[in-house]
């Protein structure tokens, strides 16, 4: 087994320099729940782990009415589900994090970690994509904001450069008269990762849908969205028939994977049913 050294920077600048110095030999670690699995499965084999655990400025949670929610990369899943700030700003986001695995995992796993791991079967990414969140990536070269719609590239692959660190996640304020929901289906144990996860956002105006966003998680390499199917709702009230029509369109458009949690055929059936259910739930919230 190769030697692994844990580096503990005292500032974000130190961490950025370490990544620049060691380049492909180094990986960032927050709480470690994600990266330990990746090491165990030999998906990665770094020589150095750059620990962010001693950087308190990555743990903030701040909501500015009319602007949005700012989430430090080291905020845990449990903090997301239990924070009055999150529950006030985006109740559906708090509920999404509550549905992750079990309480032990939620007390350790971080928001930045689950995004940077880019595991296709994680719960939060699809909800954050549907909410049009973005991440702040910092390196010695400066910083940039990356939309989550562009962040996930493939299985365990993101748009981050090797020397970039995610420091913050920003969720913009939801539109007036809008609501969101997250529904998932577990084909195995309740603590397992989902077979399919559905995030839905419905924006209304005068009783009709102004915009609808539906993001499918755990069914493909990255969160999936079908714009043509979403456009079916434009200017129409959300009804059982419309929700069923959009669900059918998603099932036809998505090309799911087959794995231990379900075949591609099985996932299509689940997608069709859950999209309908998620849209109706969001519309009535």
* Short-list 56, 89, 49, CA closest to 73: 56
Question: Within 6-143, where are the H helices?
Answer: 12-22, 33-40, 77-82, 84-89, 91-98, 103-108, 111-117, 124-130
pTM over 0.85: yes
**Euclidean distance between CA atoms 144 and 169, whole angstroms:** 12
Domain boundary among 172, 192, 210: 172
What lies within 8 Å, CB to CB, of 247 at 6+ separation is: 271, 272, 273, 274, 275, 276, 279
Would the pLDDT of 130 be above 80?
A: yes
Q: Which pLDDT score, from 0 to 100, does residue 71 have?
A: 99
- Domain region containing 130: 56-172
Give residue 37's pLDDT band: very low, low, confident or very high (50, 70, 90): confident
- For 137-192, the pLDDT digits (tens) are 999 999 999 999 999 999 999 999 999 999 999 999 999 999 999 999 999 887 78
Domain boundary among 149, 172, 195: 172
Q: Is residue 134 a contact partner of residue 145, using CB atoms and an 8 Å limit?
A: yes
What CATH number is associated with residue 103?
3.30.465.10
DSSP structural state of residue 193: P
Q: Which pLDDT score, from 0 to 100, does residue 34 have?
A: 79
Q: Are 139 and 182 part of one and the same domain?
A: no
Kindly report the average pLDDT of the chain as a whole number.
95
Q: Which pLDDT score, from 0 to 100, does residue 2 have?
A: 64
- For 227-268, the pLDDT digits (tens) are 999 999 999 999 999 999 999 999 999 999 999 999 999 999
Q: Are 32 and 96 part of one and the same domain?
A: no
Domain boundary among 110, 144, 172: 172
Per-residue pLDDT, averaged over 30-43, amounts to 83
Q: Are 70 and 141 part of one and the same domain?
A: yes
């Amino acid at each position: 087994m190769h030697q692994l050294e844990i580096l503990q920077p005292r500032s974000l600048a130190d961490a950025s320099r370490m990544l620049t110095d060691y380049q492909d030999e180094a990986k960032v670690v927050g709480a470690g729940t994600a990266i330990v699995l990746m090491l165990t499965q030999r998906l990665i084999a770094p020589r150095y782990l750059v620990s962010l655990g001693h950087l308190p400025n990555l743990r903030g949670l701040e909501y500015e009415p009319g602007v949005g929610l700012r989430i430090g990369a080291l905020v845990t899943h449990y903090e997301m589900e239990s924070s009055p700030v999150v529950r006030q700003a985006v109740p559906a986001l708090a509920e999404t994090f509550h549905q992750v695995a079990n309480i032990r995992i939620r007390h350790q796993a971080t928001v930045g970690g689950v995004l940077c791991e880019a595991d296709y079967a994680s719960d939060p990414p699809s909800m954050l994509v549907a909410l049009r969140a973005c991440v702040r990536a910092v390196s010695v070269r400066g910083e940039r904001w990356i939309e989550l719609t562009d962040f996930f590239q493939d299985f365990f692959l993101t748009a981050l450069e090797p020397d970039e660190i995610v420091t913050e996640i920003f969720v913009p304020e939801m539109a007036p008269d809008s609501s969101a929901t997250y529904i998932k289906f577990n084909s195995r144990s309740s603590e397992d990762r989902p077979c399919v996860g559905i995030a839905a956002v419905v924006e209304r105006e005068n009783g009709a849908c102004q915009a609808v966003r539906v993001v499918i998680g755990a069914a493909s390499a990255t969160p999936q969205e079908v714009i043509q199917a979403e456009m079916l709702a434009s200017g129409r009230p959300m009804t059982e028939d419309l929700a069923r029509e959009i669900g059918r369109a998603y099932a036809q458009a998505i090309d799911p994977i087959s794995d231990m949690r379900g075949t591609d055929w099985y996932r299509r059936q689940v997608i069709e049913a859950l999209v309908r259910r998620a849209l109706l739930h969001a519309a009535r919230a």
